[in-house]
Amino acid sequence: MTNVLIVVGERPQQKSVLLEALRRFRDQGASVGIVGDFPADALTVDVDLADVHPLAATPADPRLRRALARTQQPSRALWLRSWRDPWVRRRVRTADVLVALDSTAIHTVWEMAQRQPRADACNGIGAAGRVVRARHEGTYRPTRGALDEVSARAGIVVRGVRRAAVTGAKESLEAAMAPAVLRSGVGGRLWRSAVSIPGLPERVRVALAYRVHLRSVQSGRPGLAAATTTAAAARMSSRRARADLLTREANGELDLGHVPVCLTEAVAAELALADEFLPKNKVRASRSLHKAMRLLFHRVPHFDQLSSPLAERPAEFLAPLRASTTARALAAPRGRATPAAAPPTGRPLRLLIMTNGNAHFLREIRQRYAETPGVELRYLHLADDPIAGPLTRNPGGIVEHLVAGQSEFGNRVEEWLRPHLDWADTLFVDWCVATAAITTLVDPGNTRVIMRLHSFEAFSFWPHLIDFSRVDDLVFVSEHLRDLTTEVVPALTGARAPRLRVIPNAMDLTGYQRPKDPSARFTLGLIGTSAVAKDPRWAIEVLRRLRATDERYRLLLVGGGLNPDASESVRHYEEALSTDLAELEPSGAVTRIGHVDDVPGVLSGIGSILSSSVRESFHCALVEGAASGAVPVVRDWPFFADRAAGARTLFPADWVVGSQEEAAARIRATTASEEVWRAEGAAAAEYATKTWDWTVVQHDFDELFLPRAGRQE
Amino acid sequence: MQSKLSPLAPLVRARRRRPRRGGRPHVIYLAIGFPPAAKSSAYRMRETANQFAARGWDVTVITLADESWEREYGLDHTLSVGVDPRISIVGLPLTRVDLETDLRAFSEARSLRPQQWIDQQRKQELQVFPEPVFGGWRPELEKAVLRVHREHPADLLMTTCAPYVNLAATWRLWDEHRVPYVVDFRDGWSVDVIGGGAAFAENSPAGRWEKRVLAEARAVWCVNEPIAQFYRDRYPALADRVRVVRNGYDEDCVPSTNHRPEPATGLTFGYLGSINFPPALLDSVLTGWRIARREQPLLARSRFEVRGHIGAGALREANAHMELLRAAASDGVEFGGPLPKAEVAAAYGRWDALVLMLVGGRFVTSGKVYEYAASGLPVLSAHEMDHDAATVLAGHPLWTGAVGLDPRRLATSFSEAARLALEATDDERAAARAHALRYARSAQLAPAVAEVTAAITGATATTGQISVGTSTEGGQA
């Protein structure tokens, strides 16, 4: 019997190869254990093939947790976690063959091999297969002797002593980077000089510069952080090392909830690396591009703050992307071999609706076209599809396909999507996210392709992964989103751009007109508080101003709260909001009621409906509130306030306010008496219903889906 | 100060060449990958060495020791059977440390950061010679060439690349002993055969090496006309010394008769060769295969047999290609490992159609295209449309044509290949074989070796083929 222990450091990539090897090992009489850092569902293996033992995601041992916190290297961390596990130690004691399945696992197997001198230590399952076969066939010849064992034991002791010394030195170094030191002029200059000492080994310079950079940011000295990085980068000859340092620092700051001080430099460095790879290795180029895009469109700068550099200065912010050859290769229009066919005349139009996002905005649309004569409707939510679901969770695959022009990922998309494209006359993709991007990886044939962009997509990398030369119509829900998106995505202008349309969201507003209790007059409502962009603290400030003169005003916050685990910047906002609520909730000034299904019911108790957001595309909840007869009070969404279109062009001018003071003034005026309040509310309800109710908007969708030539009235 | 290893180091004064031993000219053949190495270049090397031996040369081949190949694609001793027994072989104990699979041979630093350790190695290798992976072999290769020359003075050094570090040893022998040399450049160095254009500038370290060594070469061989033209354009002074010597095929690899397809049980498609192209290419072919099986009942009951080497070192038969093949097992795809050269003809004999998967474009020909063309079987092309393989196959009566790598178009090609396999007449198969006759390996190499022999020894350049005793011997795929 040969005992084999396989160590896995990363999510196994070649499962079929592994399973085949395990079957061979079993047939050759081997007993196999597999340990590693992977979720239990990432590796399903029959019990007769191997005993699979995933390491605990969060170790219980506090000493181990401290050791892990000090360890930067994933390969070392895997060893530390493995060796503290009794199951692993038992297996190592009896192992004849130790196998590293991937490069992260190599160090763990190397350390195990020092402790089990009898075993072979193999890099890769193929090498292990040759040893197991030799043992099985009796041709195995051991090459190690007793001296090797003594030498291995001595090595363990020596390395232990050396590591203890290095750990002590590192701790001293950390102390010398205390905030007080970095805030002092002398301390800052000292560290800035230290990272740029000539002749410093690159690895040491990178490690030092990274630490000084992050400590400077944490000490409130972003200028020092940037200067340190610039000084270190200037001394680095390797483009890759420079990009690695900058992106590591940027990611470190994002983890802290900060917009990185060197974000542009990090993105530019990574894109330079991509451009260097591009002529010879498009896959590596695509990986660098994807890394750069993840940084550029990270949620912290765009979603978890009250402003976004993309909205404030799009051209400057996207300049590195525009300048990159790899990014231009990604955005190159591929077009379609045949134009979209005219709607069929002898049979119903086959309409396919697909999404992998929130399906809420499709309810009325699906219902109408499921019942429309002359339309055969199919609806696919890709997240529910076992094949398409994983395809929507692989933006890196999309980037690779677009840059390389060919990929395994693209082939999977072709296989899955083609039958659907062959069936559909018209494809409508809601949300310009993953489904839209994978759709345009393949030539749609003669199927007409329509997409809809709501809002957040414009601040993400998704529109940059969509080949709009394969899209016939792109629908926006408002003009200001259209304007911003066309500024951000060059593919939306020019000869190969799709037709751009603005059609409001589909909303059935008839059920919202319910009688309001007189007490609702002093109740402000904010529906939807699960994102920083909704800025509920703005609404609270409006309430404070109202209550300064009239304590009858109160605020109802409806909807799920913020998720502080999303990022540190969300946590910061959430902490500030909690402080506000701790002050105002006990007195009843603010009430949170969480998520509700019966929104019309809640609205019957709300007299003024607020839109306190920094950005919105349309704000359905506000419009629903207006339709209920609540007085709409809309902040002039700051992301769009300086643009030609925004809240002021979407809504009647008197609904929109420029400040909290103006908001308070409008509320005071419109709730001055019950009569005034009810009249204002009725006017708002009438306007909302006549403008945005589904009975009105559905005609725009009919025009979109069923151009007159193909419509069966 | 310039390094002794720099190409810019001052020339050592040329020494007088020693007289020949026994009147026979002596060629040192620097051929890393010579049999029994199971490498695709081994066939060309074997034929080259045999041609020299047959023309009266003493031939000393310098390659790596057998153990060194175990880390890469392994050994195929059936290849050595066809080597002229008069040829001497010197095996150097050089190994690729990057392919080490025994983790006990790793240092702690390498175990912690395997990739960075390799990167560091690469940097050091580049200091020795501007070629990653192999640059560090320069001192040993130089020593070996000088040692062989000392023991048996050479009249010619025949050097074949890759690896390009061979050029350093070639130059050293010229520099010190003025031994003339011919460079069998095969796919070239400064030409980017995959992307097209130049791989590096003339003033780069590699560019300076290439320019200097080629300038003194008696001849430079390339495997196809686009590469040859690239070199004529890059070095106009070299134009009349650049020659196309195509790879060709070994006649013993071609079956004497073809298998008769049996539609009821399905067809067998075959691929034979190293699987070293991007995984995406293999995936496109497998996707095309799946689409074709979905649409055609005949293909649904057919098989696709893949034979050849996959990966090296830790990734030997455990890489992304292998995963794709294993995962395609339920689609009738079988991977059977490498095929000894002696069994190649039999494999072609039992297959119904061939799938030609190739990387690159107009600068790439490959070796297997000739064998495929000569097999008398339908050939399905899975490569870029503008590819030198298309030049070889143009006019082949059983070729489906180059359609690129779009899986849907490849699916159509699978259907077309199946149709050709079923409907091809004996005359068409004979015409297909006849189409490839001019590409017999000996017909390609014999004139080139004859020219070199004439130039060096003054013998009449009889360009006709000389029997070199390999036509009925085995070899390796």
Residue B473, pLDDT > 80, answer no
The answer to whether the Cβ–Cβ distance between A15 and B290 falls below 8 Å is: no
Residue A229, pLDDT > 70, answer yes
Residue B368, pLDDT > 70, answer yes
Choose, out of A5, A79, A110, A158, the residue to mutate when testing the contact with B (most B CBs < 10 Å).
Answer: A110
| ipTM of the prediction greater than 0.90, yes or no | no
pLDDT digits (tens, 9 = 90+) for A430-485: 999 999 999 999 999 999 999 999 999 999 999 999 999 999 999 999 999 999 99
The single-letter code of the amino acid at A440 is: T
3-state SS assignment for residue A362? helix
B221 or B472, greater pLDDT: B221
pLDDT digits (tens, 9 = 90+) for A537-585: 999 999 999 999 999 999 999 999 999 999 999 999 999 999 999 999 9
Mean pLDDT (chain B, rounded): 89
Number of Cα atoms under 13 Å in the Cβ half of residue A125 = 26
Four-point Cα dihedral B233, B234, B237, B240, nearest 10 = -50
Q: Residues in chain B whose beta carbon is closer than 8 A to a beta carbon of chain A?
A: 100-104, 106, 108, 111-115, 192, 194-195, 197, 199, 278-281, 283-284, 287, 290-291, 311, 313-320, 322-324, 326-327, 329, 405, 407-408
Write out chain A residues lying below 8 Å of B67, CB-based. none
Domain spanning A349-502: CATH superfamily: Glycogen Phosphorylase B; (3.40.50.2000)
> Residues A190-208: what's their mean pLDDT?
85
Write out chain B residues lying below 8 Å of A14, CB-based. 318-320, 322-323, 326
pLDDT digits (tens, 9 = 90+) for B99-127: 999 999 999 999 999 999 999 999 999 99
Residues 6+ apart with CB under 8 A from A289: A270, A271, A274, A324, A326, A327, A330, A399, A403
pLDDT digits (tens, 9 = 90+) for B228-248: 999 999 999 999 999 999 999
Question: Looking at the complex, does the CB of residue A125 fall below 8 Å from at least one CB of chain B?
Answer: yes
Interior angle at CA B132, CA B131 and CA B133, nearest 5: 120
pLDDT at B471: 33
A204 or B299, greater pLDDT: B299
Cβ neighbour number for residue A561 with a 10 Å cutoff: 16
Write out chain B residues lying below 8 Å of A283, CB-based. 278
Radius of gyration for the alpha carbons in chain B, expressed in angstroms and rounded: 23
Gap between the Cα atoms of A666 and B180, Å rounded: 96
A686: pLDDT confidence band, cut at 50, 70 and 90? Answer: very high
> Residues B367-395: what's their mean pLDDT?
93
Chain A residue at shortest CA distance from B70: A127
Write out chain A residues lying below 8 Å of B313, CB-based. 123-124
Gap between the Cα atoms of A566 and B467, Å rounded: 75
* Range list of H helices, A195-324: 202-218, 222-234, 239-255, 263-277, 282-296, 299-302, 309-312, 314-317, 319-323
> Residues B178-187: what's their mean pLDDT?
96
Surface of A (277-336) touching B: CB under 8 A: 279-280, 283
Residues 6+ apart with CB under 8 A from B362: B196, B226, B386, B387, B388
Nearest to B29 by CA among B156, B124, B219, B139: B156
Chain A residue at shortest CA distance from B199: A280
Residues 6+ apart with CB under 8 A from A658: A636, A641
User: Among A51-60, A147-156, A664-673, whose mean pLDDT is lowest?
Assistant: A147-156
The answer to whether the Cβ–Cβ distance between B407 and A415 falls below 8 Å is: yes
pLDDT digits (tens, 9 = 90+) for B375-384: 999 999 999 9
Residue A490, pLDDT > 50, answer yes
Q: Which of B101, B112, B324 sits opposite A127 (nearest CB)?
A: B101
pLDDT at B1: 36
Gap between the Cα atoms of A397 and A150, Å rounded: 49
pLDDT digits (tens, 9 = 90+) for B81-99: 999 999 999 999 999 999 9
For A341, A425, A426, A471, the CA distances from A444, given in Å and listed in that order, are 11, 10, 10, 9
Q: How buried is residue B11: exposed, middle or buried, by Cβ count under 10 Å (0-12/13-18/19+)?
A: exposed
pLDDT digits (tens, 9 = 90+) for B2-19: 343 444 333 333 444 555
Q: Are A615 and A637 in contact (CB under 8 A)?
A: yes
> Residues B136-148: what's their mean pLDDT?
97
Concatenated DSSP letters of A393-407: T-HHHHHHHHHHS--
3-state SS assignment for residue A661? helix
> Residues A640-667: what's their mean pLDDT?
97
Find how far residue B206's CA is from the centre of its chain: 21
pLDDT at A237: 83
Sheet holding A523-527, edge to edge: A590-594, A554-558, A523-527, A608-611, A631-635, A656-657
pLDDT at A257: 93
pLDDT at A61: 86
Concatenated DSSP letters of B357-388: E--SSTT---SHHHHHHHTTS-EEEES-SS-H
Choose, out of B71, B96, B103, the residue to mutate when testing the contact with A (most A CBs < 10 Å).
Answer: B103
pLDDT digits (tens, 9 = 90+) for A343-386: 999 999 999 999 998 999 999 999 999 999 999 999 999 998 99
Gap between the Cα atoms of B415 and B411, Å rounded: 6
Q: Which of B113, B284, B323 sits opposite A411 (nearest CB)?
A: B284
Q: How buried is residue A385: exposed, middle or buried, by Cβ count under 10 Å (0-12/13-18/19+)?
A: middle
Return the percentage of chain A with pLDDT > 90, whole number: 78
Concatenated DSSP letters of B282-301: HHHHHHHHHHHHHH-HHHHT
The CATH code belonging to domain A511-692 is 3.40.50.2000
Write out chain B residues lying below 8 Å of A277, CB-based. none
3-state helix, strand, coil in chain A (%, to 5): 55, 10, 30
Q: DSSP class of residue A542?
A: H
Residue whose structure tokens are 């050089």:
B94
> Residues A203-227: what's their mean pLDDT?
89
For A419-439, letters b (16+ CB in 10 Å) and e give ebbeebbbbbbbbbbbbbbbb
The Cα of A405 is separated from the nearest Cα of chain B by a number of Å equal to 10
Residue B156, beta-bridge partner list: B27
Domains of chain B listed by start with CATH number: 26-248+441-457 (3.40.50.2000), 251-437 (3.40.50.2000)
Q: How far apart are the first and last CA of chain B?
A: 47
The answer to whether the Cβ–Cβ distance between B284 and A406 falls below 8 Å is: yes
Find how far residue B129's CA is from the centre of its chain: 22
Q: Which of B100, B283, B318 sits opposite A411 (nearest CB)?
A: B283
Pair of tokens at residue A128:
């292990």
Find how far residue B163's CA is from the centre of its chain: 11
Find how far residue A92's CA is from the centre of its chain: 40
B468: pLDDT confidence band, cut at 50, 70 and 90? Answer: low
The answer to whether the Cβ–Cβ distance between A122 and B106 falls below 8 Å is: no
The Cα of B359 is separated from the nearest Cα of chain A by a number of Å equal to 12
> Residues A396-404: what's their mean pLDDT?
96
Gap between the Cα atoms of A9 and A130, Å rounded: 22
Write out chain B residues lying below 8 Å of A19, CB-based. 326
Nearest to A293 by CA among A476, A463, A491, A490: A463
> Residues A260-264: what's their mean pLDDT?
94
Find how far residue A182's CA is from the centre of its chain: 33
User: Could you tell me the fold of the domain covering A2-144?
Assistant: Rossmann fold (3.40.50)
> Residues A67-78: what's their mean pLDDT?
87
> Residues B403-414: what's their mean pLDDT?
95
Gap between the Cα atoms of A471 and B223, Å rounded: 45
Positive or negative: CA dihedral A45, A50, A51, A52: negative
Cβ neighbour number for residue A390 with a 10 Å cutoff: 13
Q: How buried is residue A346: exposed, middle or buried, by Cβ count under 10 Å (0-12/13-18/19+)?
A: exposed
Q: Are A391 and A418 in contact (CB under 8 A)?
A: no
B465: pLDDT confidence band, cut at 50, 70 and 90? Answer: low
Helix (H) or strand (E) holding A2: strand A2-8
pLDDT at B18: 52
Q: How far apart are the first and last CA of chain A?
A: 77
Interior angle at CA B330, CA B423 and CA B419, nearest 5: 10
Residue B321, pLDDT > 80, answer yes
Number of H helices, E strands in chain A: 33, 17
Residues 6+ apart with CB under 8 A from B126: B132, B135, B205
Find how far residue A40's CA is from the centre of its chain: 24
Write out chain A residues lying below 8 Å of B314, CB-based. 100, 123-124, 126-127
Gap between the Cα atoms of A454 and A474, Å rounded: 11
Return the percentage of chain B with pLDDT > 70, whole number: 92
A443 or A72, greater pLDDT: A443
Nearest to B158 by CA among B285, B328, B25, B356: B25
Positive or negative: CA dihedral A212, A215, A217, A220: negative
Gap between the Cα atoms of B215 and A41, Å rounded: 61
Write out chain A residues lying below 8 Å of B322, CB-based. 14, 16-17
In this structure, chain B runs to a length of 477
The Cα of A412 is separated from the nearest Cα of chain B by a number of Å equal to 8
Nearest to B414 by CA among B252, B283, B302, B276: B302
Gap between the Cα atoms of B275 and B357, Å rounded: 9
Interior angle at CA A248, CA A243 and CA A250, nearest 5: 95
pLDDT at B4: 39
> Residues B440-445: what's their mean pLDDT?
90
The answer to whether the Cβ–Cβ distance between A124 and B316 falls below 8 Å is: yes
Chain B residue at shortest CA distance from A412: B287
pLDDT at B330: 94
